[in-house]
Amino acid sequence: MFINQEYIEGLLHDAKNTPEADISKILDKAERMEGLSPPEAAALLVSGNPDNLRRIFLIAGEIKRRIYGSRVVMFAPVYVSDYCVNRCVYCSYNKSHAFARRRLTMDELRKEVLELERMGHKRLALEAGEHDAMCPIEYILECIDTIYSMKLENGEIRRVNVNIAATTEENYKKLKAARIGTYILFQETYHRKAYERLHILGPKSNYEYHLTAFDRAMKAGIDDVGGGVLFGLADPYFEALGLMLHNEHLEKEFGVGFHTISVPRLRPAAGIDIADFTSLVDDETFEKIVAVIRLAVPFTGMILSTRETREMRGKLLKAGISQLSAGSCAEVGGYSQMGKPGGSNPQFMVNDDRDALSVISGLMDDGYIPSFCTACYRSGRTGDRFMSLAKSGQIKNVCLPNALMTLCEYSMDYGSESFRQKADGAIRREIQGIANEKIRRKTEQSLDKIRGGERDFFI
């Protein structure tokens, strides 16, 4: 098995004795955007030298700028069912928790999607608990089809990523045929003993079946997979190295690793007392882990949800985060119920409760370009094809133009006059960064067409 507890613990133990000269060489390597091996990442994680920490953050910020520029990809989750057969200690959907559970009908899902389209979202992450009777794969496929079929004026969802329980290769083939974007699955914790203690009952209690889900997904033809752990369940440095080893395994077996890595932290939720958890991660440690992951896998997207506060999200964007949720609701049917009494049971407590427009406007205030681009998936730039473009630097020739065109589209459809002026200023500033003159001219022409009422241009 590619996750070996003793090996990871040995890496962390041995890393404490890494000479400063070796750490300097590791940071030099990271600065060249060559990525890091698990032992090299371990050395940076355990280093307590403030000078090393400062350089880690400087390099992480530089990598972020060189690869992603000022772009931040936007998305929102949509929860379709909170029925679950698992008893996971950290989750509000725990089978033993008593609350009125819900599964959206297709009409209810349409209401959710309409609200998300009114926010301007183009990319969703479909979320559901695990329950073969109430939430079988056929239901998930119907949800995906319903989402793709929805259109409100200029609003439409162009990419549906899917975060559902580990399943069979046959079911992954069905998801592939349904045109999903990225298949996302959190290992929750790579520490086997912690995993077995926290997953008391249900299919998810099978550590190895859960761990090898991406192998089955990739064999089924899904070449964009997104990993993650729930920081706070076990030693956070152990978890970070688990992610690195999992990514290394996928690269070895399938030629491409994680398309994205998510970094959620354990947060309060119904039925959960986080004071019972002894591995909670403080802000400084969390920021360091995000930065080291960015150094280790410079070309992998990093996702942050509204579990974090506005202030922490701002810090982590500088440390390497490239995708951000906005206006999120973490409960089934929550978007159409916003502002109404009652509601379902949220999976976790949201800490950045700004609406989508406020998040997007705030990003521009901070010098970022919010991007609603889904072009790579729609153009077949997935898996190893995407990674080869990213590593060669050629991805810049499509990502920035697409980000600018989708921001212009968003501002025209959802922004006030002052918002449009802000967006136009950001677009004028950033368009000069398109080095290829032919692509820059094409982008300018498309921007004019968008302002004239046409939509959905991409390179």
Local confidence pLDDT in tens for the 459 residues of the chain: 899 999 999 999 999 999 999 999 999 999 999 999 999 999 999 999 999 999 999 999 999 999 999 999 999 999 999 999 999 999 999 999 999 999 999 999 999 999 999 999 999 999 999 999 999 999 999 999 999 999 888 889 999 999 999 999 999 999 999 999 999 999 999 999 999 999 999 999 999 999 999 999 999 999 999 999 999 999 999 999 999 999 999 999 999 999 999 999 999 888 899 999 999 999 999 999 999 999 999 999 999 999 999 999 999 999 999 999 999 999 999 999 865 545 568 888 899 999 999 999 999 999 999 999 998 888 888 888 888 878 887 777 889 999 999 999 999 999 999 999 999 999 999 999 998 999 999 999 999 999 999 999 999
Question: What does the alpha-carbon distance between residue 430 and residue 284 come to, in Å, rounded to a whole number?
Answer: 31
| Residue 381: strand, helix, or coil | coil
**What does the alpha-carbon distance between residue 230 and residue 263 come to, in Å, rounded to a whole number?**
7
89 by Cβ neighbours in 10 Å (0-12 / 13-18 / 19+) ranks as middle
Please give the Cα distance from 410 to 74 (Å, whole number). Answer: 11
Give the helix/strand (H/E) hosting 159. Answer: strand 159-163
**∠ CA 179-181-184 to the nearest 5 degrees?**
125
DSSP for residue 188: B
Phi, psi (rounded to 5 degrees) for 454 = -80, 160
Phi-psi region of 422 (alpha: psi -120 to 50; beta: other; left: phi over 0): alpha
CA 288 from centroid of its chain's CA atoms? 18
* Calpha distance 176→161 (Å, rounded): 11
Burial of 272 (0-12, 13-18, 19+ CB in 10 A): buried
Retrieve residue 264's tokens.
């959620």
Alpha carbons 34 and 16: distance in angstroms, whole number: 23
Give the global pTM: 0.96
pLDDT per residue over 198-242, tens digit each? 999 999 999 999 999 999 999 999 999 999 999 999 999 999 999
In which residue are the tokens 């004795």 written?
17
- Bridge partners, residue 303, by sequence: 262, 323
Residues 6+ apart with CB under 8 A from 226: 161, 182, 183, 184, 185, 258, 259, 260, 261, 262, 301, 303
CATH of 71-353, one of 3.40.50.1820, 1.10.630.10, 3.20.20.70, 3.50.50.60: 3.20.20.70
Q: How far is CA 114 from CA 148, 157, 341, in A?
A: 12, 10, 20
Calpha distance 237→9 (Å, rounded):
9
Domain spans of the chain? 5-65, 71-353, 385-451
Per residue in 333-390, pLDDT tens?
999 986 554 556 888 889 999 999 999 999 999 999 999 999 888 888 888 888 887 8
